Structure 1
Amino acid sequence: MWGCCDHVPGLTLHLISPRWFPFSFAFAPGFWLFLPFRSPLPLFVLLLGAVGFGFFIAVRASDVHASSSPIMGFIGNALYYSFHPMQLRAIIQWKVWHNPPHERNEKNETENQKLCFKFLDLTSRSFSAVIKELHPELLMPVCIFYLVLRGLDTVEDDTSIPLVTKEPILRDFKNYLTQEGWNFTGNRPEEKDRELLVQFNHVVTEFMNLKPEYQTIIKDITDRMGNGMADYAVKAESDDASVKTKEEYDLYCYYVAGLVGEGLTRLFVEAEFGNPALMKRPRLHKSMGLFLQKTNIIRDIREDFDDNRRFWPQEIWSKHVDNFEDLFKPEHLDAALNCSSEMVLDALEHAEECLFYLAGLREQSVFNFCAIPQSMAIATMELCFRNPDIFKKNIKITKGDACHLMHKSTQNLSVLCDSFREYTRKIHKKNTPKDPNFLKISIVCGQIEKFIETIFPTQTAEAAQRKVTGELTAAEAKRKEEDDQNKNDIWFMMGLMGVIVVIVAGLMIFAAWMMGARFDLAFKELTQGNFRPPKSIAHGEL
């Protein structure tokens, strides 16, 4: 949405089929009483039963445990969620109870429009979900806007395209949007979104079907972004492409994401879903884009380094290490963490203006569309803050945390501010006096909380009086009731599962007894301490 920010985990859930439920309980409880002490099989069966039990409550979440084997990946995820039930609960609640404000009506779509949404799914699973829930007035404009910029980005990212070819394409991309039938086949075969440009003629067709006002906005942003990318490509060809100063860093983030924020804001205001005053304060939509892009750059430091790309400004990292490569060396870990803290500090300075911007949105689906990535960004920022793993691998928040954040982000600004306050406090808690920017980080965290407090005060004179008397507000009483209900639901589910285990185990034991199982011998062996199966003894000649 706001640039290259595909960091939201996929939302596709795969619950195990109910037909497996009996087996998942039966594997262990039934057979362990009459087999255990005569073969090594029971321990394996017991373990298999535990895994089977985990299967029925687990979802396939590839971002938790990646594996080359789908089966092993599924087992890993099942075990993970068995020990993290609140994560699983958040996923199921989002999948079952999320009620989108608008739903895409495929019956009224042309084949060309369906193909555009197919490319939307292929190029961004995360943004695809929130775009499809937009108001019908903005559904196609935002979809086409995203695909146009994704196509532009695909040309810019492909290092196999020579500058003599790449530069004119980037600068003229806006003109191709009205050139019927235009497509591009010059990407290397392994380029991820190559197919989008190969069939870009479908995007061109839908672009020309948009309202003229929307076309003007999309063309203008495409023109400015394309020229910015071309300038950067020329610089990379003739000079060191790494970012030197914080001003260059902000400018790069603006071209990549800030312009997208401006374009979306103009679309929202044109559709009368945003306050026109948003256009009079460009710093607000600029901060929306920069906050997301800077989060990505902080999180992807290892991946970018492996691809020989450097987006952390030299003005920042040179304060902590002599060479950029030193950030990834164990002996410079403390300096690297201090450097990452300064990067987080730089990004957090945009948080207040992001919340200010969100207050100017008038339509629920538009609010959801903008709020979800922002809540993901502050959570990712907290995950990256003073986390040495960012220098070792690409990290991201769990699917359960993502679903919990999406649930809170799709309600209202007050609930979203609660999320910002929560993660800001976590960052403040992780802050250490050993960090050279300790004081600055503490101040910016305090400023974010103060800003939220000015919008949604946590305590008024009336609230203070109620606190003294022990009374609860209607909202507090409702929240307490919901918390109590949630606890009761968990205990009920655990009790129900226990009853099912007992019933199925009893049936299996009864079936084993009917088939001649000798439980008396099993218990006799147990009381004698014979936990291993008896060894076979060779007999001699009779």
Structure 2
Amino acid sequence: MEFLRSLFYPKEIYNLIRYKMGGLTEVEQDPMSESLQTCYKFLEETGRSYAVVIQALEGELRHAACIFYLVTRAVDTLEDDLTISLETKIPILTNFHNFLYQPDWRFMDSKQKNRIVLEDFPTISREFRNLAVVYQEVIANAARELALGMVEYLSKQIESVQDWDKYCYYASGPIIIGLSVMFSVSGLEDPIVGEDTKVSISVSLLMQKINLIRDFLEDQLNGLELWPKEVWSKYGKNLSDFTKPENIVPAVQCLNELITNILHHVPDVLLYLSRLQNQRVFKFCAVPLMMAIATLATCYNNLQLFKRKVKIRKGQTVTLMMDTTDMQAVRAITCQYVEEIYKKISPKDPSSEQTQNIIATIKKLSVPDGATGDPQLAVSEQDSGLVHMGQ
């Protein structure tokens, strides 16, 4: 099926074949305890796309990133499980960071597909406690902030765009900030990477907002309304009405306005990536971010999003994994996908002018070899009006 979806993209077909033959990346091998091997097995089972880039990291940073992912996956699995009552869920989330230091804590009552990270949490927490203290502190602090943010929004609606930013920050901000700090304390990246939390938060908002765009139908089926009412109420009386064929035009217009909002984070993404010096750290960060931007281009002006789950082709994913090697490649890929969005802008779309303006800014940053200058300058010149949390 994936080969058929890439039928008209010869490069994707070629890269899919290479991927199937194991030619995507070389994974550094070193001796691991049985419990750490189990953690990497859980990583493959619960986050296959992340496993590829995590396993390409170096030494202790790789293990820390693996455990970080599994801990946040456990928090997320708890939060997502609608079969767990709030009376049970809230105390667990509130105290979750403490469970990292309790060797026998586990949770056996989840019905989620990724419940293994809760059922065998003692294995994960054991390897957490084997990490250097500095990594433990980053992971525990991030888990605490993630869980407390989830508790806040278990019974809170997303009314304004500011609420949307705050919700998305709680969902992924602590993770991106934590990883950035890890990159710096590992000595592989300069201190500025971990210190500039404003840019890290903007990167996290882009990642999480794209997830909420892509998962619209799934969230609707679960009774979740995770688009800001301040925006969608301009296009309809109820968010659920967007799934009705007669409302497809305003639904797509709402979608386009939200994607335009997300595009304002792209300059920060380019700035963040431009600071990374270690090739493995760069690829770890750049590949998911380029996939996110490709997903934006796929979702923009796409009425299919209100009928089925929309995602990029597997061939695109594999090609991005192979092609995202340096900043020149990042700029070229970014330029390619914002140009795709630009070509789909309808002059009748209420957000068309705003979309064109932010795309013009991104294009200035995406000229090959960075000919237009410092990303920081464009970020400061482009007032996105977005709220940054955690400052």
TM-score, normalised relative to structure 1: 0.66
Query: How far off is 1:414 after superposition?
Result: 0.8
**1:358 paired residue number:** 273
CA distance in 2, matches of 1:343, 1:183: 39
Q: Assess if the C-alpha contact under 8 Å between 1:151 and 1:197 holds in 2.
A: yes
In the alignment, which of 25, 40, 46 is matched to residue 123 of structure 1? 46
Cα 1:322–1:120 change in 2 (3 A) is same
Q: Assess if the C-alpha contact under 8 Å between 2:297 and 2:337 holds in 1.
A: yes
**2:97 paired residue number:** 174
Cα 1:363–1:80 change in 2 (3 A) is closer
Pairing of 1:91-490 with structure 2 (within 5 A): 91-94=16-19, 98=23, 100=25, 103-105=27-29, 108-188=31-111, 191-233=112-154, 236=155, 241-409=156-324, 411-453=325-367, 456-457=370-371
Q: Assess if the C-alpha contact under 8 Å between 2:6 and 2:315 holds in 1.
A: no
AA partner of residue 330 (structure 2)? L
Runs of 4+ in 1 over 3 A off after TM superposition: 79-86, 93-100
Cα 1:299–1:195 change in 2 (3 A) is same
AA partner of residue 104 (structure 2)? G
AA partner of residue 289 (structure 2)? Q
**1:87 paired residue number:** 12
AA partner of residue 258 (structure 1)? G
C-alpha distance after superposition, 1:317-350 (max 9, x if no partner): 0111122122122222111111110010011000
AA partner of residue 217 (structure 1)? V
AA partner of residue 123 (structure 2)? H
Query: How far off is 1:83 after superposition?
Result: 6.0
Q: Assess if the C-alpha contact under 8 Å between 1:144 and 1:206 holds in 2.
A: yes
SS in 1 for 2:95: helix
Cα 1:334–1:81 change in 2 (3 A) is closer
Cα 1:414–1:83 change in 2 (3 A) is closer
C-alpha distance after superposition, 1:5-56 (max 9, x if no partner): xxxxxxxxxxxxxxxxxxxxxxxxxxxxxxxxxxxxxxxxxxxxxxxxxxxx
C-alpha distance after superposition, 1:288-342 (max 9, x if no partner): 1111111111111112112211111000001111221221222221111111100
CA distance in 1, matches of 2:67, 2:86: 26
AA partner of residue 105 (structure 1)? Q
Which segment drifts farther, 368-377 or 269-278? Answer: 269-278
SS in 1 for 2:366: helix
AA partner of residue 420 (structure 1)? T
Q: Assess if the C-alpha contact under 8 Å between 1:94 and 1:404 holds in 2.
A: no
Query: How far off is 1:80 after superposition?
Result: 5.7
Query: How far off is 1:87 after superposition?
Result: 2.8
AA partner of residue 173 (structure 2)? G
Q: Which runs of 5+ in 1 are unaligned?
A: 1-60, 65-76, 460-542
Q: Assess if the C-alpha contact under 8 Å between 2:335 and 2:363 holds in 1.
A: yes
CA distance in 2, matches of 1:98, 1:338: 41
Q: Assess if the C-alpha contact under 8 Å between 1:244 and 1:314 holds in 2.
A: yes
Q: Which runs of 5+ in 2 are unaligned?
A: 374-391
Larger-gyration structure (1/2): 1
AA partner of residue 407 (structure 1)? M
Which segment drifts farther, 333-342 or 271-280? Answer: 271-280
